[in-house]
Structure 1
Amino acid sequence: MNTKTTELQSEIKAHWEKQILPFWSNLKDTTDGGFYGWVGNDLQVNQQAPKGGIATARQLWTFAAAYRVTGNERWRDHAEHAYRFLADHVMDTDYGGMYWMVDYTGEALDTSKHVYTQSFGVYSLSEYYRATEDASALELAKTLFALIEDKGLDAELPAYKEQFDRTWKEQPNEMLSENGVIADYTMNTHIHVLEAYTTLYRVWPDQQVKAALERLLGILYERVYDQDTKFLGVFFNKQWESIIDLRSFGHDIEASWLIDEALKVLGMEQHLEYAAMVTDIAYNISNVAVNADGSLLNEQEGDHIDEKRIWWVQAEAMVGFYNAYQRTGDPLFLERVERLWTYTKENIIDQRAGGEWYWSVDGNGIPDQSEIAGPWKCPYHNSRFCIELIERMGSE
């Protein structure tokens, strides 16, 4: 590593260990289990807020990965705490799968099942097993994998479906549709099923998982990725037709490195079309979505560009650009990471005592009033950015 990269790695590691992990650690609910479900913009904790299925899985992933990377037993304890809540309260023992939402005591609140939620179950349980070798977690991950493949996969198209009721009857996809449309299939769900199966395959290199990963790569390349524009489509109907002119810059750069991780675990790094997709997406987002201040824009619908700088978009862009730097050796991408980190330090990281990262800021760097922790605002994106760059830079 050069001096600048060494300093960057050191800064990121210190921020992760001294601000991000302690913030989420302080939300540990020792009375009812799991972690408190809401912290307002005023940094006040609502101890009786509902606890999301996705948030619980992401908390489990974060602390499991933190234990794996640092060896700190404190994070193992937090991971085990999250695992017990997920296994005992978020899992539906009657119909299978993870609930969308439980109340603060762990009672089912919204029993909807979403493939996206199940994928985060697979992801986090696989990471927990990877860190602790707890065989029960791997068995639960295998169960969720089988459920996704059985209930969530339309094998003829192929495509992964989205939303179901508690008994696994398909429902309109209200949970993961935005921008005034209801999508039958989403890019978002497909990249996160890919992410989940990649981690599962690391710890359980089964032929079923391999086949599913290969299928997902084919879907993303043939159905979701536009080889002409180098963008990913976002929302689709049942014929795999795009139903809105929408470009999600953050999801695109996130997808680029998630796809690359899948290629690595499959030993397919040199697959010509897929490798080109990884780098072409990164160059495209670098060209069209980076602001003069180094930050990444959110999305573009038609001619309208959403200029909010959202916390997870900046985090995923840093990983995606660094992955592209490793792929290509192009110093442009390293410069992108350095400037993004500077922007994030100056605008996204909450400097208040007890703060974490703001949800978003506007073009002038003024934070919005959204929650600091909630069903979607979790430690996963920014912790993962820290872990990825710590590990990637440390291996060079």
Structure 2
Amino acid sequence: MTQRMVQLQSEIAEHWKTKILPFWSSLKDEDHGGFYGWVDQDLQIHRQAPKGGIATARQLWSFAAAYRVTGEEIWRDHAEHAYRFLTDHVMDREHGGMYWMVDSHGKPLDTSKHVYTQSFGVYALSEYYRATRDTSALELAKTLFGMIEDKGLNAALPAYKEQFDRYWTEQPNEMLSENGVIADYTMNTHIHVLEAYTTLYRVWPDPQVKAALERLLGILYERVYDKNTKFLGVFFNKRWESIIDLRSFGHDIEASWLIDDALRVLGLEHHPQYSAMVTDIAYNILHTAVQADGSLMNEQEGTHVDTTRIWWVQAEAMVGFYNAYQRTGDAVFLERVERLWRYTLEHIVDPRAGGEWHWAVDENGMPDQHEIAGPWKCPYHNSRFCIELMERMG
């Protein structure tokens, strides 16, 4: 590695170990299990706040990955703590699948089942097995995989459905729709099912998982990716028609490296169309969404551009651009990672003692009033950015 990269890797590792992990570790709920569900902008912990199913899975993934990477027993303890809460409280043992939300004590609060939530269950349980070799976690990951394929897949199109009630009756997709539309299918769910199945395939290289991954790659290439604009569509109807002129810059750059990760586990990294998609998406985001200060803006709907700098968008962009650098050797991607890391340290990272990353800042670097921890704000995006770059640069 060059000295630049050694320094960058060292800074990222130090930040992960001294800023990100301690913050989330401090939210461990020793009384009721899991991790506290809400920390407001003033860094006040709301101990009675609900605990999200997605957040629980992401906490499990983050601490399991931390144990796998560091070998430090404290992170195994935290991962086991999250695992127990997920299996004892977030899993619906009667009707299968994971709840959307439980209360602070772990009692069901919103029993909706979303394919997105189940995918994060697969992702987290597979990583937990990868780190600990706890076979019960792998068996539960297989069970959730089977439920997604059985309940969530419309094999005729093909497409993965979105939202269900507790009894697996399909419902309008209110949970993962935004911008004034209700989508039948979303890019977001499909890239995260892909992400989950990629990690599952690493630990359980079963032909069923391989077939599902290949199906998902086909869906993303044929239905979601616009080969003319190089953007991914976001929200679709039941005929796979885009229902809004929306470009989500963070999801696009995230998708580029998640797709590449799937290609690697399948041994398809030289697939001509899919490889071109990975690099074309990265170059497109590089040229359209990076601001003069090095940050990545949020999205564009029609002609309206949202220049908000959101925490997870910056994290995923650093992984996506570094992945593109590895694939192409184009030094501009490495330069963008370095600039974005400097921007993140200066504006996104909360400098207060006991803080973590702000949800978002405006174009002047002013933080918004979003929560610091909540159902969507978890240790997953920025922990994973740190781990990915530490391992890729290693």
SS at match of 1:39: coil
- The Cα offsets for residues 181-214 of structure 1, whole Å up to 9 and x where unpaired, read as 0000000000000000000000000000000000
Cα distance in 2, alignment partners of residues 369 and 384 from structure 1: 24
Residue 4 of structure 1 and its aligned partner are, at CA, apart by: 0.7
Structure 2 Cα separation of the partners of residues 161 and 313 of structure 1: 25
Instruction: Give the 5 Å matches for 1:128-207.
Output: 128-207=128-207
Amino acid at match of 1:124: A
Offset, 1:54: 0.1
Letter in 2 for 1:393: M
Q: What's the offset of the Cα at 1:383?
A: 0.1
Post-superposition Cα deviations, 1:60-105, rounded to whole Å, max 9, x if no partner, equal 0000000000000000000000000000000001100000000000
C-alpha separation in 2, matches of 1:243 and 1:268: 31
Written as runs of structure 1 = structure 2, the 5 A alignment for 1:190-339 is 190-339=190-339
* Per-residue Cα deviation, 1:154-202 (whole angstroms, up to 9, x for no partner): 0000000000000000000000000000000000000000000000000
The DSSP-based 3-state class of the residue aligned with 1:46 is coil
Partner of 2:41: 41
Gaps of 5+ in 1: none
Note the residue ranges of structure 2 that are not aligned, 5 or more in a row: none
1:375 aligned partner: 375
Which residue identity does 2:139 align to in structure 1? E
The one-letter code sitting in structure 2 at the alignment partner of 1:356 is E
What is the Cα deviation at residue 215 of structure 1?
0.0
Distance, in Å, in 2 between the alignment partners of 1:314 and 1:279 is: 18
- Alpha-carbon distance in 2 for matches of 1:48, 1:370: 18
Question: Counterparts of 1:271 and 1:369 in 2: how far apart (Å)?
Answer: 44
Equivalent position of 1:101 in the other structure:
101
Aligned counterparts of 1:47 and 1:381: Cα–Cα separation in 2: 23
Secondary structure class of the residue paired with 1:80: helix
- Counting only pairs closer than 5 Å after superposition, residues 81-96 of structure 1 correspond to structure 2 as 81-96=81-96
One-letter amino acid of the structure 2 residue matched with residue 11 of structure 1: E
Aligned-residue RMSD, C-alpha: 0.2
TM-score when scaled to structure 1? 0.99
SS in 1 for 2:230: coil
How far off is 1:307 after superposition? 0.5
Secondary structure of the residue aligned to 1:247 is strand
Q: Distance in 2 between the 1:6 and 1:105 partners? A: 44
Aligned residue-pair number: 394
Cα displacement (A) at 1:381? 0.1
Partner of 2:63: 63
In structure 1, distance between residues paired with 2:66 and 2:329? 28
How far apart, in 2, do the equivalents of 1:307 and 1:325 lie?
25
**Distance in 2, Cα, partners of 1:313 & 1:133:** 32
Shift of 1:304: 0.3
Alpha-carbon distance in structure 1 between the residues aligned to 2:85 and 2:275:
39
* Distance in 1, Cα, partners of 2:89 & 2:370: 27
Q: How far apart are the structure 1 equivalents of 2:353 and 2:130?
A: 34
Alpha-carbon distance in structure 2 between the residues aligned to 1:325 and 1:381 = 20
Match for 2:156: what amino acid? E
Separation in 1 of the partners of 2:43 and 2:66? 24
Secondary structure at the aligned position of 1:38 is classed as coil
Aligned partners of 2:78 and 2:203: how far apart in 1?
21
Q: CA deviation at 1:21?
A: 0.2
**Match for 1:293: what amino acid?**
D
Q: Provide the residue aligned with 1:110 in structure 2.
A: 110
For residues 100-121 of structure 1, what are the alpha-carbon distances to aligned partners after superposition, in whole Å with 9 as ceiling and x for unaligned? 0000000000000000000000
| Aligned-residue identity in percent | 81
CA deviation string 1:289-332 (max 9, x = no partner): 00000000100000000000000000000000000000000000
Measure how far apart 1:264 and its partner are: 0.2
